[in-house]
Structure 1
Amino acid sequence: MKKSLLILLVVLLAGCVQENGYNSVTPTIIAKGNLMGNGKEQISKQMIVVADSLSWNRLVAKMNAVNNVSGGFLERKVDFSQYMVLAIFDEVEGSGGYSIDINVFEDNMKVYVEGVYKKPLGGIVPMVITQPYLIVKIPRTEKSIQFSS
């Protein structure tokens, strides 16, 4: 009986993943937070792929232009032979409480990255200028990356 239920569960789960032709990709969070430099970092709202150490070091330096943001990163050295980095920056906001989440899926041709921008849910928020960001890594791929928000 248990074996039959396990087989049924596996078949159902496999069917769900293949039904729409997309497979979920689980990103590893490197950093999530807010830049607190009042926009002086000069980073616009954007979604970018970082595929090499030079570009990674430039991004980290730009983020650190006002404050040592990278000191709070969960990972500083990325093995770009195995991974690529996806970085999402929101607009500079006039208060706290904003954040970003991410959904990553792939099919045979592309990796689809959706930025999910979250606003404060109400209540009291810090009155400080912030810029939400999210940096994750995913396994390196030769597929094209398509961003949406």
Structure 2
Amino acid sequence: MKLFITIIFSLLLTACPKNEEGGFTSLSKGNLFGAGDEGFKKENIVISSQVEWKSFLLKLDSANKVSETFENAIDFSKEMIVVVVDKVRNTGGFSVEIVEAVKEGETFLIKVSSTSPKPTDMVTMGIIQPYHIVKINKTKKEVKFIEL
């Protein structure tokens, strides 16, 4: 009987879908200071070609040069870019961060964490828009974003 229960339990464990770390490399994390002039809303972007990347960089740099320090050697046959942009904020103290990239079944989950200041926190005065840009291995899986 114990052997039977052990076999059944083992089968159940191996039948569960596995989560695999997808991994990522952070390219840039910070704030846009164009007061929304870059034209981004709160959005999640997946970039899988050089043409899309160049178009994104033009939009990103439209108000201020942000991409000057970015890695330029991106092989889009092996890699893709994932971008998270928060909405425009009227003070500092806000941030957005991709904290995990996980392959789960037929999807590639991008887990995003946002922080905001407490009402009693001292913050800088200025219009900002937090963003985070990462590089992941190219995948044909559907990319989904989850806010934590």
- When normalised by structure 1's length, the TM-score is 0.81
For 1:115 and 1:126, the matched residues in 2 are separated by 24
Work out the percentage of aligned pairs sharing the same amino acid: 32
- Where structure 2 has 5 or more consecutive residues not aligned to the other structure, the ranges are 1-14
Deviations 1:42-99 (A, max 9, x none): 11110111000000001111010010000132x1331101101000000000011211
Residue type at the aligned position of 2:127: I
Partner of 2:90: 94
- Where structure 1 has 5 or more consecutive residues not aligned to the other structure, the ranges are 1-17
For 1:58 and 1:76, the matched residues in 2 are separated by 14
Structure 1 residue aligned with 2:34, among 37, 45, 59? 37
Structure with the higher fraction of residues in strand conformation: 2
Partner of 1:82: 78
Partner of 1:11: none
Residue type at the aligned position of 1:105: V
- When normalised by structure 2's length, the TM-score is 0.82
* Superposed structure 1 runs of 4+ greater than 3 Å apart: none
Residue type at the aligned position of 1:127: M
Residue type at the aligned position of 2:32: L
RMSD: 1.7
Partner of 2:6: none
Number of corresponding residues: 131
For 1:20 and 1:139, the matched residues in 2 are separated by 21
1:52 has 2:55 as partner: no
1:132 has 2:125 as partner: no
1:142 has 2:140 as partner: yes
